[in-house]
Structure 1
Amino acid sequence: MQGKELKKTMGVSVAFSMVVGCVIGSGVFFKPQAIYTATGGAPGIGIISWILGGLITLCAGLTVAEIAIVIPKTGGMMVYLEEVFGEKVGYLTGWMQCLLFYPGTAAALAVAFGNQLSEILGHPDWTVGIAIVDIIVVIFINNIGSKAAGLVQTLATIGKVIPLIFIAIFAFIKGGGTNPILTPMVGEGLSTGTVLGSVLIAILFAYEGWINVTPIVGEMKNPGKDLPKAFGGGILIIMAIYLIINVAYLWVLPADQLAQVSSPAVAVAEVIFGPVGGKIIAVGILISVFGALNGFILAGSRVAYTLAVQKIMPGYKIFNKLNKSDVPGNGIILIGALGCLYSLTGQFNLLTDLATFSGWVFYVLTFIAVIRLRKTRPDVEREYKVPLYPIVPAIAILGGGFVLINQLFMAGSGPRAIALTSIVITLVGLPVYMIMNKRKANSLNE
């Protein structure tokens, strides 16, 4: 089935669930290890960075909402950048999302799911196999239709809040509360600036997923009102949850111990509830990660579909079709298959850093695009405008820019290698674009 329009079936509840559901996935449960490793076992910068990361993300969401409503087309960020900066930049955005961001994040979430479930089952060597099966299940659900995927997203969002609530409440009741929360800022001999950049790249992954609602704006019934509500309300709620839960972790275990465990949330839960309670919380974490994975494959498939419809994606004749459920089934399979491939690494932190750096390069371009669009198209009707303009976009640009520059020039060889790999793979899209554009032009002339 080809040439059909995606139906406008999604309301504010699905949009809100996409924001909260995709963001609260694995980062809040697993990233404290990477954060407190980077700080040298000190809590201060870690806690402050949860607030800073939330403020950057809030400014980012409120900024992107404006351009998403002015250009309410399926495809999200790549469509916005194409209209503002031209087809090449738009193509590179979609190329990066299809090859790095969405499958990389999906793989990271699947690996986190596999790690957690394999520990529960007592077979740590099953991690990669479970991760691949997890992705295949999500592919199947998404191929049923957008309503089924949206329902899973909503139910998973409700389910994932439960372990967070239980940990937060009982950590403060049963925890000793004697561990430092804000001091020291960083471990002895560490640079605050470098540590802050490394911590923020981890925390921005924990906040990652907020933009996943933009590729489905074309399927929303009333994006002008619903999108700002989903971004603003969703991110503020997430900020509050993240701050409370991370203070709760420290209420039970000190930062240097959290740096030593792969699943800090489960370690804290076991102290509070015992081994059985810890496993119950672990099941809640699995629900959380599954919901996030569902959201990333749902959104990523829409980007692949948009590239294919434009006939500038290799194999576009396969991926520009909607299935009987009016969803881009082959695009769903593409993102999922790449996710399965990346899952073979079994490396959660490597995959998250790669996806986060790749995404934020183009997020910053999108924030700049909002400012440029104000100047080039001042008369266009804007049902929603960024509050406190241009301060909010400026905070988003400066925050994102700091993280990117830190990864490229200030962090160690590992993070720098990840950043350079992202840039190289993204730039490979340029010759691919030129080849596909030439073929497209030749087919039109025939």
Structure 2
Amino acid sequence: MMKEREHYGLGTAISMIIGISIGSGIFFKADEILIATGGSVWLGILVFVIGALCVIFGSITLSQLAGRSSMRGGVVSYYEEFVSSKAANAFGWFQLYVYFPTITAVVSWVSGIYTISLFGLESSLELQTILGLMYMTFFFSMNYFSYKSGGRFQNISTVVKMIPLIGIGLLGIFWNQNAPALPEGIALVERSNVGWAWLGALAPVAFSFDGWIVSTTITQEVRNHRRTMPLALTIGPLVVLGVYLAFFLGLIAIVGVEFILSAGDQAIGQAGQSILGIYGERILTSFVLISILGVVNGISLGYIRLPHTLAMKNMMPMSGRIKNLDEEKGLSPFAALTAYGLSVFWLVMHYITQRWDILAGGDISEIAIVFSYVLYIILYIKVIQLKKEKRITSVFLGYVAPVLGTIGSLVILLGGWFSNPFYMPIFIGFSALVCVLGYLYGTKHAQPLINEG
């Protein structure tokens, strides 16, 4: 039975990590990173490296659990198998009700924004949201009715989105033209000393790298997963770091530090014009849109499996109905509907928060990203315990990687606090409340899943 479910290979697992991590974030967070560092290129590079190391050491650490896990469900199953079923219930609720649907909603909405930009439509929050809902509906449907199509689109979108990133990186090496003039009406912003405020750049970096953990949800559907997933979780973040640094430095070489500090997001469009002429901005926008759609596809591909995983362990309401599989597709129709329904709910909530500016410029995905890194620390500590029990023999894998991963998570938490000191405590408190409710539900209802390995 297991072999029938092993749909994906190493390439899809790696492309899923790269495809979800490299979304719209890098294209339109690069300016925020440089602004937060006061225009210091070296601090910008340092922030990227810190963010990458958090992911790399975290993923290397979790790969030790992925290779030893015999259950479906990614991180939720790691919690159950290596910590406790009640802790798994807490984390599962966080992923089900907060992490996946908020990010799915926001990225779908962003895809609507760039669709409007690409086709020159009159922009409004309502149209952005409707287009986002259409994209969300399409990708949830595709990943349920045809897992092969979802996997193929993930691979294709990953390759396509790498073209402008690597292209700008390579062109930056040989670029020798003068920096472009600032657009009319934009004041010059020069470099400055920002002190410790550069730590605030870790928040947009965390957003840019976020998504790698989603790939663990398909662990049991990857061929030879005990060997493949540790490789994918190591190679993927390294590739992302290399691409991000190339793009960041290439963008600076083409348009200049002062242009980025002054014009912000317009720097990307200017880079397109500098390279490709008058139609360059539209061409680059089309690549950005494909990049975002790859993220929506990758998240939905992983998310539609999560409710079934929780239902099989009786970790959520209506588990009896959700656990029933469509044997032909190998997926639960009610699980897919649950994931889709929660994503639609959070899209509506996102519309409300944006319409009346409830989060003061933030968005609902900020609730999840920073808090998720805090929850990973528990798993990092468990890997250290496995080393002490001699179930892991390598000092690097058993001690060095989890300790550095823990430090990285705390640094990202600190960076999130610097970036939004008022709302971050609220986000953390809300996420913690969801975890507590999940834990309490688990004390009464959860039951362990039989090993599937």
- Does TM, scored on the shorter chain, surpass 0.5? yes
- Quote the residue 2:159 is aligned against: 158
Question: Residue 305 in 1 paired to residue 308 in 2?
Answer: yes
Question: Residue 290 in 1 paired to residue 293 in 2?
Answer: yes
Aligned partner of 2:384 among 371, 378, 381: 371
Alignment RMSD, CA only?
2.9
- Paired residue secondary structure (2:277): helix
Does the CA contact (< 8 Å) of 1:45 and 1:186 recur in 2? no
Q: 1:12 to 1:341 in 2, by over 3 A?
A: same
Question: Residue 23 in 1 paired to residue 25 in 2?
Answer: no
Residue identity in the other structure for 2:17: V
**How does 1:210-221 map onto structure 2 within 5 Å?**
210-221=212-223
**1:92, CA displacement in angstroms?**
0.9
Does the CA contact (< 8 Å) of 2:387 and 2:398 recur in 1? no
**1:67, CA displacement in angstroms?**
0.6
**1:319, CA displacement in angstroms?**
2.0
- Quote the residue 1:247 is aligned against: 249
Please list the CA deviations of residues 244-289 of structure 1 after superposition, one character each: whole Å capped at 9, or x if unmatched: 1011111133445435444653342233323412211211111111
- Quote the residue 1:60 is aligned against: 58
- Quote the residue 1:444 is aligned against: none
**How does 1:273-422 map onto structure 2 within 5 Å?**
273-323=276-326, 324-344=328-348, 345=350, 350-376=363-389, 378-379=390-391, 387=396, 389-407=398-416, 412-422=421-431
Question: Residue 168 in 1 paired to residue 169 in 2?
Answer: yes
Does the CA contact (< 8 Å) of 2:93 and 2:434 recur in 1? no
Identity %: 23
Q: 1:413 to 1:40 in 2, by over 3 A?
A: farther
Q: How many Å separate the matches in 2 of 1:209 and 1:271?
A: 31
Q: How many Å separate the matches in 1 of 2:419 and 2:284?
A: 37
- Quote the residue 2:123 is aligned against: 124
Q: 1:186 to 1:276 in 2, by over 3 A?
A: closer
Instruction: Report the TM-score when normalising by structure 1.
Output: 0.86
Structure 2 residues without counterparts, runs of 5 or longer? 181-188, 355-360, 449-453
Q: How many Å separate the matches in 2 of 1:388 and 1:73?
A: 22
- Quote the residue 1:235 is aligned against: 237
Question: Residue 112 in 1 paired to residue 119 in 2?
Answer: no
**1:30, CA displacement in angstroms?**
1.7
Does the CA contact (< 8 Å) of 2:201 and 2:419 recur in 1? no
**How does 1:81-120 map onto structure 2 within 5 Å?**
81-120=79-118
Does the CA contact (< 8 Å) of 2:51 and 2:205 recur in 1? yes
**1:168, CA displacement in angstroms?**
2.5
Q: Count the aligned residue pairs.
A: 426
Q: How many Å separate the matches in 1 of 2:144 and 2:269?
A: 33
Decide which moves more: 403-412 or 287-296.
403-412
Does the CA contact (< 8 Å) of 1:74 and 1:302 recur in 2? no
Does the CA contact (< 8 Å) of 1:21 and 1:292 recur in 2? yes
Instruction: Report the TM-score when normalising by structure 2.
Output: 0.85
**1:212, CA displacement in angstroms?**
1.8
Q: How many Å separate the matches in 2 of 1:326 and 1:85?
A: 28
**1:74, CA displacement in angstroms?**
1.1
Q: How many Å separate the matches in 2 of 1:186 and 1:231?
A: 37
Q: How many Å separate the matches in 2 of 1:385 and 1:121?
A: 54
